[in-house]
């Protein structure tokens, strides 16, 4: 990680390494939005046109975890976590501004914002409203890794923040579900709430599969890779070979997600639109609000970006699994969970491009993360 001295008024010529960042992306990265939209369309088409595909995919589960989606997420996360320099994690854990901000935004503000938006937009649709609140409680521990990496965020910070989120997810998810779905609506006179019965064990399994396995694999790859070939060769030769697999895994996961629910989504377009509005507002509020906060408290670009994406992203797999387990696969709550990634994926892809456009002119105190292997 290198520091770039601020010089907004010194007349310093722009750093050539930072000029036109988007143009410097690989073809795969530069047209990411196109590939993702295509993957969404393919998934929706397959789910709609291939009889029984959604049922066949849904049947491939163990303990409520979809094996095909788990495979896609593991392939997606492993290359990014193999890029993390684990010997630098202490520089993140010592940054109290970052850690405290992440905990407050993710576990106090995020669920409260989703609760408010769900009641504002879906007061007359209790099933969809409950599903949205569950999405707000499931803080992101998986896909945020790749959004952060594409936006040139701080990989070490992302690893620490998702690990922190995973611990709080196991401990706090059930408690927050009781508070926002059962207790708070009664306090506010909004009527009788829903009871959410989800075990800490189920959440822990979700965390182990979607974060623990790829994190351990990435750590061991980095440790033994550097030991056998040295850091420079590891980053200049090995990482470029596995790097594209992160996007392949992402696209595979998106195809599966939309194939699973293609018929449901296309059969209820008006309901999807009603659910989409508060989700869109949520992602925009959380990302831009958190980005502004990061800059206000003096965080560098890379850590501000990481903070913003970890705040805006959600653990859609956990939200969908909980909604289906508690309310049934055909429930409105499950539909809200499914619509989550339908909106989150294109919105956060767009925000990756916003991040890259802002990266060059982030302002005083800017730090630029070095990505030698990309």
- What is the span of the domain harbouring residue 228? 24-358
Per the listing, tokens 């401990």 go with: 171
In a domain, 13, yes or no: no
pLDDT in tens, the chain (374 residues): 433 434 443 344 444 444 455 555 566 666 777 888 898 889 888 887 887 776 777 677 776 677 887 888 888 888 888 998 898 888 888 899 999 999 999 999 999 999 999 999 999 899 999 999 999 998 988 788 888 988 989 999 999 999 999 889 888 888 898 899 888 888 888 876 667 767 677 788 878 887 888 889 999 999 999 999 999 999 999 998 998 888 888 888 888 877 877 777 777 788 889 999 999 999 999 999 999 999 999 999 999 999 999 999 888 878 887 887 778 766 888 888 888 888 888 899 899 989 988 887 654 344 444 344 44
Contacts of 74 (CB under 8 A, 6+ apart): 209, 210, 213, 214, 217, 249
Task: Determine the Cα–Cα distance for residues 256 and 40; give it in Å rounded to an integer.
Answer: 9
Side-chain-side CA neighbours of residue 83 (13 Å): 32
Note the pLDDT tens digit of each residue in 211-220: 888 889 999 9
Written as six digits, the tokens of 106 are: 């993710």
In a domain, 371, yes or no: no
In a domain, 45, yes or no: yes
Q: How many CB atoms lie within 10 A of CB 6?
A: 13
Per the listing, tokens 């061991």 go with: 220
Note the pLDDT tens digit of each residue in 13-62: 444 444 455 555 566 666 777 888 898 889 888 887 887 776 777 677 77
Written as six digits, the tokens of 71 are: 């495979």
Task: Determine the Cα–Cα distance for residues 252 and 76; give it in Å rounded to an integer.
Answer: 9
Strand partners of residue 40: none
Strand partners of residue 66: 61
DSSP helix/strand/coil, 372: coil
Supply the pLDDT for residue 29.
64
Task: Determine the Cα–Cα distance for residues 163 and 143; give it in Å rounded to an integer.
Answer: 13
Query: Which helix H or strand E contains 2, and what residues bound it?
Result: strand 2-3
In a domain, 52, yes or no: yes
Task: Determine the Cα–Cα distance for residues 363 and 208; give it in Å rounded to an integer.
Answer: 38
In a domain, 337, yes or no: yes
Question: How far is the CA of 273 from the CAs of 40, 223, 236, 374, in angstroms?
Answer: 16, 47, 45, 37
Question: How wide is the angle at C-alpha 311 spanned by C-alphas 206 and 222, nearest 5°?
Answer: 60
Domain count of the fold of the chain: 1
Supply the pLDDT for residue 209.
82
Supply the pLDDT for residue 371.
44
Supply the pLDDT for residue 71.
87
Supply the pLDDT for residue 193.
64
Helical residues (DSSP H) of 188-268, grouped into ranges: 200-207, 213-229, 231-233, 239-242, 245-267
Q: Write the CATH number for 178.
A: 1.20.1530.20
Task: Determine the Cα–Cα distance for residues 342 and 323; give it in Å rounded to an integer.
Answer: 16
Q: Are 243 and 79 in contact (CB under 8 A)?
A: yes
Written as six digits, the tokens of 208 are: 């182990």
Written as six digits, the tokens of 139 are: 């803080």
User: Per-residue b/e over 156-171, b at no fewer than 16 CB within 10 Å?
Assistant: bbbbbbbebbbebbbe
Task: Determine the Cα–Cα distance for residues 25 and 133; give it in Å rounded to an integer.
Answer: 36
In a domain, 18, yes or no: no
Question: Beta 65-66 vs 367-368: how paired, if at all?
Answer: unpaired
Q: Are 337 and 270 in contact (CB under 8 A)?
A: no
Side-chain-side CA neighbours of residue 301 (13 Å): 27
Q: Are 144 and 313 in contact (CB under 8 A)?
A: yes
Helical residues (DSSP H) of 60-154, grouped into ranges: 67-83, 89-93, 96-104, 110-121, 126-137, 144-150
Per the listing, tokens 């979809």 go with: 66
Q: At what angle do helices 32-49 and 332-359 cross, to 10 degrees?
A: 160
In a domain, 1, yes or no: no
Q: If you average pLDDT over every residue of the chain, what do you get?
A: 82
Written as six digits, the tokens of 123 are: 């007061």
In a domain, 43, yes or no: yes
Task: Determine the Cα–Cα distance for residues 77 and 170; give it in Å rounded to an integer.
Answer: 20
Q: Are 262 and 45 in contact (CB under 8 A)?
A: yes
DSSP 8-state symbol, 303: H
């Amino acid at each position: 990680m290198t520091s770039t001295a601020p010089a907004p008024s010194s007349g310093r010529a722009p750093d050539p390494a930072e000029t036109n960042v988007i143009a410097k992306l690989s073809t795969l990265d530069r047209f990411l939005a196109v590939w993702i939209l295509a993957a969404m369309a393919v998934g929706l088409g397959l789910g709609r046109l291939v009889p029984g595909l959604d049922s066949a995919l849904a049947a491939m589960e163990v303990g409520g975890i979809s094996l095909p989606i788990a495979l896609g997420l593991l392939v997606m996360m492993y290359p990014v976590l193999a890029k993390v320099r684990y010997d630098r994690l202490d520089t993140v854990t010592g940054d109290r501004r970052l850690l405290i901000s992440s905990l407050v935004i993710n576990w106090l503000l995020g669920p409260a914002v989703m609760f408010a938006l769900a009641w504002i937009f879906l007061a007359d649709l209790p099933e969809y409203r409950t599903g949205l609140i569950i999405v707000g409680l499931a803080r992101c521990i998986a896909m945020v890794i790749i959004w952060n990496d594409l936006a040139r965020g701080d990989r070490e910070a992302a690893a620490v923040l998702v690990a922190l989120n995973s611990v709080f997810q196991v401990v706090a998810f059930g408690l927050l579900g009781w508070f926002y779905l059962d207790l708070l609506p009664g306090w506010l006179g909004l009527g009788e709430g829903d009871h959410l019965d989800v075990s800490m064990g189920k959440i822990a399994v979700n965390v182990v599969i979607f974060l623990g396995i790829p994190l351990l694999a990435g750590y061991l790859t980095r440790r033994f890779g550097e030991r056998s070939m040295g850091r420079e060769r590891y980053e200049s030769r090995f990482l470029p070979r596995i790097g594209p697999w992160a996007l392949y895994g992402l696209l595979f996961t998106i195809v599966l997600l939309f194939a699973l629910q293609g018929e449901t989504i296309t059969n209820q377009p008006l309901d999807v639109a009603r659910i989409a509005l508060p989700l869109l507002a949520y992602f925009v509020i959380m990302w831009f609000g958190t980005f502004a906060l990061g800059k206000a408290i003096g965080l560098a670009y890379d850590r501000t970006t990481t903070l913003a994406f970890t705040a805006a992203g959600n653990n859609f797999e956990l939200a969908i699994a909980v909604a289906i387990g508690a309310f049934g696969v055909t429930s409105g709550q499950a539909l809200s969970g499914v619509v989550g990634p339908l909106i989150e994926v294109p919105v956060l892809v767009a925000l990756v491009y916003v991040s890259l456009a802002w990266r060059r002119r982030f302002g005083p105190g800017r730090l630029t993360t070095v990505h030698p292997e990309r």
